[in-house]
Amino acid sequence: MIPAQTYLLLSAAVFCIGLFGILTRRNALIFLMSVELMLNAANINFVAFSLQHGNLTGQVFALFGMALAAAEVAIGIGIILVLYRNFTDVDVTKATTMRW
Amino acid sequence: MTNKPELHTEGSFVAGLAAVALFVVLGAVFMGVSFPTPAGFGEGAAITKSLGAAMFDIAPSAIMGEGESAVPSEGFLVAFEIIDVVLVAALVGAVMLARREDAGEIVSLAFGGAESDQQAVAADGGEPTAASDETGGDDA
């Protein structure tokens, strides 16, 4: 059976790819995709430890995580749509109207 | 002389070094610990049925067939219902954010007055139009 460290490394890699995207990109859509990567890294951990402990609670929690990710994307796409309408761009650094 | 395709980058990757450093730290930590052999779910475990039983908080033994064993879990019926409400709220919120106003004016966040009408861009990618002659597009 595959040891738990392998899953943890995979999860850390996916999380760090998401973090890299958030730190280096300015496109709001890529931001959204990066956040999804970070959420899915958490789900990998849940499922890995579900197998580790022989208990299904982690898998059920991962399903709820996916549902939350879906809700987040729905709101995120709506916000990006309004961002584009107001600033004619999806660059997150352009939306500085409320900056003091 | 040939032209090479270039990767379109936005700014520098210096900030991304923090993510790389985090991965190095996490990898070093994970390689340094040892876990016991995974318990697993055993032979004949009905994982999907057990997931359904956990999500609707019913007794797994009631739905198990011959030779199938249940996997232990907690009940998640309340969380299931809360997620249901959250998803509906997100759906309504997305529609509210995306819809146009009755007079064809867009929902604006920051700008006000006629200036915002000049800034407006149709959701279908059309040319920016002034609000005075706009009839609302798809909404009629």
Q: Give the domain range for residue A24.
A: 4-87
pTM for the full model?
0.77
Domains identified in chain A, total number: 1
Q: CB–CB of B73 and A88 under 8 A?
A: no
| Interface-testing mutation among B8, B9, B23, B108, with chain A (most A C-beta atoms within 10 A) | B23
Residue of B nearest to A83 (CA): B109
CB A23 within 8 A of CB A37: no
Residue A95 falls inside a structural domain: no
Residue A96 falls inside a structural domain: no
- Residues B15-73: tens digit of each pLDDT: 899 999 999 999 999 999 989 988 888 888 889 999 999 999 998 888 888 888 888 88
Residue A97 falls inside a structural domain: no
> What stretch of H or E contains A66?
helix A57-87
Q: What is the mean pLDDT of residues B107-115?
A: 51
Which one, of B94, B26, B51, lies nearest residue A55 by Cα?
A: B51
Q: CB–CB of A1 and B37 under 8 A?
A: yes
Residue A56 falls inside a structural domain: yes
Residue A46 falls inside a structural domain: yes
Domain of A68, CATH number, reads 1.10.287.3510
Answer yes or no: is the ipTM higher than 0.95: no
Residue A94 falls inside a structural domain: no
Q: CB–CB of B40 and A51 under 8 A?
A: yes
